[in-house]
């Protein structure tokens, strides 16, 4: 299974929305610049996050995005499901009902679940549970604990002032 790079861009963008003062909205251009992305690409990702209930959009000239819930209430799985969708990666085609063993007088019992599908979905559900256990608040605190003092100051300055840090000022990522 592979998640698209949009999941990573989404989580990085959401990281910058954590801890913003009440009422501070961040625009697409600003988030795109922080992440080094094209506005149009990030706009699609944020649109999916909005539809998934992860962010709220504020229209207008001074509009932008903010988290729709507290960071501790937004899990990595919420982000993955919003960006990639929530269907299982493994899609059982019921091959057991069309192979050589299913021909002739042998009838395929579709009332009993395909054991291969059961195992694959159980494995994926464990991964989903793990992603549900990691929130944006966890990410922010864990990452921030590893930042240098200068990086923390730069991040705090951006949160309060909106000044986008330059790459040479800090390595906040």
Each domain of the chain, given as residue ranges in start order, spans 5-87+135-161
**What is the pTM assigned to this prediction?**
0.81
pLDDT in tens, 75-105: 999 999 999 999 998 988 888 887 766 666 6
Beta bridge partners, 55, equal 67
Alpha helices in the chain (DSSP H): 5-17, 28-35, 39-51, 76-84, 115-132, 136-145, 149-161
Q: Please, what is the average pLDDT of the chain?
A: 85
Q: Give dist(CA 66, CA 129) in Å, integer.
A: 25
What is the architecture of the domain spanning 5-87+135-161?
Answer: Orthogonal Bundle (1.10)
Q: Give the model's pLDDT for residue 121.
A: 95
What's the DSSP call for residue 64?
E
For the ranges 61-70, 103-112, 115-124, which has the lowest average pLDDT?
103-112
Host H or E run for residue 78: helix 76-84
Dist CA 129 CA 76 (whole Å): 10
């Amino acid at each position: 299974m592979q998640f698209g790079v949009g999941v990573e861009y989404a989580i990085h963008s959401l990281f910058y929305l954590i801890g913003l003062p009440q009422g501070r909205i961040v625009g697409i251009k600003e988030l795109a610049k922080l992440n080094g992305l094209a506005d149009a690409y990030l706009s699609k990702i944020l649109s999916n996050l909005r539809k998934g209930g992860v962010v709220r959009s504020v229209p207008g000239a001074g509009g932008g995005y903010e988290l729709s819930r507290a960071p501790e209430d937004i899990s990595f799985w919420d982000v993955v499901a919003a960006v990639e969708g929530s269907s299982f990666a493994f899609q059982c085609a019921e091959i057991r009902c069309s192979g050589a063993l299913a021909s002739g007088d042998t009838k395929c019992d579709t009332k009993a679940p395909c054991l291969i599908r059961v195992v694959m979905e159980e494995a994926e559900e464990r991964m989903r549970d793990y992603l549900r256990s990691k929130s944006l608040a966890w990410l922010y605190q864990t990452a921030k604990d590893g930042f240098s003092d200068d990086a923390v100051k730069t991040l705090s300055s951006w949160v309060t002032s909106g000044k986008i840090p330059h790459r040479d000022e800090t390595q906040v990522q």
